[in-house]
Amino acid sequence: MLRTYLLFGLIILNSCVEKQDFDQFDEISLQPELEASVLYVTAPEALINLAPAANFYAQDFNFDAFNEDYFAERVIEGSITYLVENTTSKELEVSVQFLDDTDTVLDTEIFTVPAAPTPILEREIAYGNGGRSIEIIRNTSSIRVIASNLGDSTSISDLPEPMITLRSSGRFRLLVR
């Protein structure tokens, strides 16, 4: 009986724990990289021709995706990719501005695209980590889009459904931990 007691005792009491380094917990890093579309703007050439002025569209609109607390407090770097496609018969300019909550312009990106046929203009703007200040993203609460016609207002492209289209997506890394 004594030997059985001792056997149990030895098993339980002599159990071992290999050296663990729980300080590694502090080194755990969570930095997911999120990707989604941001802004899509399109205007047909017929509308551009009807506009009384060269500046055929100018609008500010609310955009709270970037300054939502969870995102703004954690975003550390990222980029916005723009694809601008012009199938109209005229040279066009599209300006995208990021504004803060006092309507101060934080960032401006201007796209000038020649008349069709012209390749899709692709541009990636980096923020943080060597790019433009990530504070631009954190403080953006609205976006201003200004589209201007740099050509005539009578011609019509031979391409089907001629239009100017701006597509964009954001890709941002968050420091969750």
First to last CA, the chain: 54
- Residue 163's nearest CA partner among 26, 47, 17, 12 is 47
Nearest residue (CB) to another protein, 116 versus 143 = 143
Task: Write down the least CB distance from residue 81 to another protein, Å.
Answer: 7
**CA 157 to chain CA centroid, nearest Å:** 31
User: Per-residue DSSP letters for 67-135?
Assistant: TSHHHHHHEEEEEEEEEEEE-SSS-EEEEEEEE-TT--EEEEEEEEEPSSS-PPEEEEEEESTTSB-HH
CA distance 13 to 16: 8
131: left (phi over 0), alpha (psi -120 to 50) or beta: beta
Binding to another protein by CB under 8 A, coded x per residue (else -) over 109-148, reads ----------------------------------x-x---
Q: Is 8 a residue that touches another protein (CB under 8 A)?
A: yes
Any contact of residue 55 with another protein (CB under 8 A)?
A: no
Q: Is 41 in the site for another protein (CB under 8 A)?
A: yes
> Cβ 110 to another protein, closest distance in Å?
18
Single out the residue of 54, 71, 74, 81 in contact with another protein (rule: CB under 8 A): 81
Question: By CB under 8 A, is residue 32 in contact with another protein?
Answer: yes
- Quote the least distance from Cβ 99 to another protein, whole Å: 13
Closer residue to another protein in complex, CB, 82/89: 82
Q: Closest approach of Cβ 46 to another protein, in Å?
A: 9
Residue 57 CB contacts under 8 Å (≥ 6 apart), including other chains: 41, 43, 51, 145, 146, 147
Residues that bind another protein (CB under 8 A): 1, 4-5, 7-8, 11-12, 14-22, 24-25, 27-30, 32-44, 47, 57, 59, 61-65, 81, 83, 143, 145, 167-169, 171, 173-174, 176
